[in-house]
A = this chain, B = another copy of it.
Amino acid sequence: MPGRDALRDSVLGGDLVFLLARANALTLAAANAALAEHGLKARSYSVLALAADGARPTQRELAEFLRLDPSQVVALVDGLEQRQLVERRTDPADRRANVLVATDAGRDLFARAQQAARAVELGLLATVTAEEHERLAGLLRLLAFPD
């Protein structure tokens, strides 16, 4: 029987793809748990966040940014729109496209949910200095946005 962490010291222990997958699974679960009290999940929180800070993204931009199929964005936006947290406005510059805008209620909810999200993030990295925290974010950005 391998000790509790014989596996951790195996080849996969240095495998970035695996570490990313596992870290993602754990943090996603933590985030979903914290967002649940606001009726959100990481996905809907992300959409609300982008709508709330005035970037006025189209659904296609949302899909690309969140790495979702456009049809998944439809469902996500439907949910938020039914709760009156977000509005679809047809883009005056391109009437095929919908631009997402948060309602006042949406911004309010986001502000509260964001605190929960921040608390989770700090909890996850409680053992690390703010400097290392930022370094991690920077390295992840490199992986998340390879230009």
User: Which A residues are within 8 Å of any B CB, using their own CB?
Assistant: 1-2, 5-8, 10-28, 31, 42, 46, 49-50, 52-53, 55-58, 61, 65-67, 91, 93, 114, 117, 120-121, 124-125, 127-128, 132-133, 135-137, 139-146
Given A11-B114, A17-B31, A93-B1: A23 and B124 interface contact (C-beta under 8 Å):
no
Interface contact B143-A53, CB-CB below 8 Å: no
Number of copies of this kind of chain in the complex: 2
Interface on chain A toward B: helix, strand, loop, or mixed SS? helix
A91 to B2, CA, bound (A): 12
Given contacts A120-B17, A145-B8, contact A23 B125 (CB under 8 A): no
In the complex, the answer to whether B145 meets A61 with C-beta atoms within 8 Å is no
Report the separation of the CA atoms of residues A14 and B117 in the bound assembly, to the nearest whole angstrom. Answer: 11
